Structures are given as structure tokens and as C-alpha cells.
Amino acid sequence: MITVYTSGSACMQCRLTKQVMDAEGIAHTDIDLTEPGNVAAREYVTDDLGYSQAPVVVIDDHDHWSGFQPTKIRELAARIGATDE
């Protein structure tokens, strides 16, 4: 499952990332790193993956990126066979 770690609804790059993923038909789980209960997720993104900017898109432990990157999202959609809905 693809996970999008965000910094809340005020984050424009986060919203755009999720919009393009939805448009490309990519199923994903969203985790808001600003919520108090998501301390472990915040530590994973910052300590384990080394990111300090949201959104962070994680496909697996070796395939992830930070920021709004529509080209990478479209490449991912082609790779996993997602379709527009």
C-alpha cells in the first residue's frame, strides 16, 4: 500500500500530491504528521527516511520521495498499472 505522509490540509503540495494520485487512480493511505497520535510516523519519516518536508510518498522501504512530484506520480501510475477513473 502506498502511503502519503502530509503536514495537514493547509499544505498545498500535500493536497496536490493526493489530487494527482487520485486522478491517476493510485490507491493510497494518508497520514497527517501533525496529529499528536502520529509520533511514530513522524519519527519514521524524519529519522528513518531522513525527510524534513511533506508530502512524503512511500511505496516501500527503497522507493520514496518528498515534495510534489507529478512526474514521479505518473511514472508510478504507469508502473503499477493504475488507470484514470
Question: What's the chain's average pLDDT?
Answer: 94
Quick: pLDDT tens for 26-42. 999 999 999 999 999 99
Q: What percent of the chain has pLDDT over 90?
A: 88
Non-local (6+) Cβ contacts of 52 within 8 A are 46
CATH class for the domain made up of 2-80: alpha beta
Residue ranges of the domains in the chain?
A: 2-80
Between 7 and 81, the more confident residue is: 7
